[in-house]
């Protein structure tokens, strides 16, 4: 069974393609490589193209006749979205609308959508469940929320069913180190901390006066392989006739910035210098997600939930690339 994976040359997309292949699916990666890596698209077939190019998308759909779409293709830098909001509205919303229109015109196959906990904004309760108000505080989060709404409306109008997966902080890398995280620029904490260990540089810590045990922000880290597994489970749920819904992907456990640094020091055996910086505007003190719905609906639970496991896998990948 062929599955079209837009953005399949990216971090989470490439890991999902590997898991798809292991489960007997045939991934068809569709990526313009503006932010993905051709070397990461190694599990299945590859097609170069933009999701907003209707003619190109149509030709790929006609060539492969995929049974479903997993949609990762999007810009994903919060800071960039604040500085260039129209870039995000055009790419994440406008291009996705074009993709979905082409899909509907061809055949409305089910969609698994890569959404984000950024749709929630600043939490009013913890852990954050799927019925928490969605009030994003940046254009990136808003763009994900709009696509979720588009998918619900399209289901009503055209019967195109979907699962939107709202994941918290993706972390780690393929334990076999075949693929891993390779962003340019890198903004995720764990690879930045590991790069500081590798290069003997300092890691910037933004704020140490939050209302947490050690004063630094707490985040819920989910191994990228667990996220990939959830996409495959969501795909099977839709293939089996499941209805449109949104589901968190979380560990329901948080770690502070200083806990990440201390764990990285244990894994790498290196001392990591810290450079304290002022708080960043809009950074909530704690973000932790609820996972009950994913467990109940998809039979999913994170298998690589330990922070040390996630950092060890990321370090193994980084050392291989070095």
Query: In 70-207, where does DSSP find H-type helix?
Result: 78-83, 85-88, 96-106, 139-158, 189-199
Token couple for 20? 């798809």
> Out of 30, 75, 140, 255, which one is annotated catalytic?
140
Neighbours of 28 (CB within 10 A): 25
Calpha distance 229→305 (Å, rounded): 13
**Is residue 167 flagged as an active site residue?**
no
Helix (H/G/I), strand (E/B), else coil: 281: coil
* Interhelix angle 96-106/139-158, nearest 10 degrees: 20
Cβ-proximal residues to 98 (8 Å cutoff; 6+ apart), any chain: 51, 52, 54, 57
Neighbours of 45 (CB within 10 A): 18
Calpha distance 281→49 (Å, rounded): 36
How far, rounded to the nearest angstrom, does the alpha carbon of residue 34 sit from its chain's CA centroid? 17
Calpha distance 196→242 (Å, rounded): 44
For residues 117 and 111, is the Cβ–Cβ distance under 8 A? no
Task: For strands 26-31 and 45-48, give the pairing.
Answer: parallel
Q: Where would I find the beta strands (DSSP E) of the chain?
A: 2-6, 26-31, 45-48, 68-71, 111-116, 162-167, 169-171, 202-206, 218-219, 221-223, 245-249, 255-256, 273-277, 286-287
Q: Which of 90, 135, 144 is nearest to 115 (CA)?
A: 144
Helix (H/G/I), strand (E/B), else coil: 295: helix
Residues annotated as catalytic are 140
């Amino acid at each position: 069974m062929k599955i079209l994976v837009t953005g399949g040359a990216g971090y989470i997309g490439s890991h999902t393609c590997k898991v798809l292949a292991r489960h007997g699916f045939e991934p068809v990666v569709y990526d313009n490589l503006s932010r993905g890596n051709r070397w990461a698209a190694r599990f299945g077939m590859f097609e170069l193209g933009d999701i907003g190019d209707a003619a190109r998308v149509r030709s790929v759909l006609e060539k492969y006749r995929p049974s479903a779409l997993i949609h990762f293709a999007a810009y994903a830098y919060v800071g960039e979205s604040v500085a260039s909001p129209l870039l995000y509205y055009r790419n994440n919303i406008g291009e996705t609308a074009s993709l979905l229109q082409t899909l509907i015109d061809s055949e409305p196959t089910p969609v698994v959508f890569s959404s984000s906990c950024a749709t929630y904004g600043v939490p009013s309760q913890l852990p954050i469940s799927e019925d928490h108000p969605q009030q994003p505080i940046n254009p990136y989060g808003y763009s994900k929320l709009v696509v979720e709404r588009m998918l619900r409306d399209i289901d009503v109008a055209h019967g195109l069913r979907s699962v939107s997966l709202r994941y918290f902080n993706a972390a780690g890398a393929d334990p076999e180190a075949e693929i891993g995280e390779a962003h340019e620029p890198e903004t995720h904490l764990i690879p930045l901390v590991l790069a500081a260990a590798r290069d003997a540089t300092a890691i910037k810590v933004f704020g140490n006066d939050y209302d947490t045990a050690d004063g630094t922000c707490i985040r819920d880290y989910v191994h990228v392989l667990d996220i990939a597994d959830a996409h495959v489970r969501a795909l099977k749920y839709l293939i089996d006739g499941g209805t449109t819904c949104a589901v968190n992907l979380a560990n329901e456990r948080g770690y502070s910035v200083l806990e990440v640094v201390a764990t990285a020091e244990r894994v790498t055996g290196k001392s990591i210098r810290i450079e304290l910086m002022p708080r960043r505007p809009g950074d909530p003190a704690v973000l932790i997600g609820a996972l009950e719905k994913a467990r109940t609906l998809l039979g999913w639970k994170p298998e690589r939930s330990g922070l040390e496991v996630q950092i060890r896998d990321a370090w193994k990948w980084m050392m291989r690339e070095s």
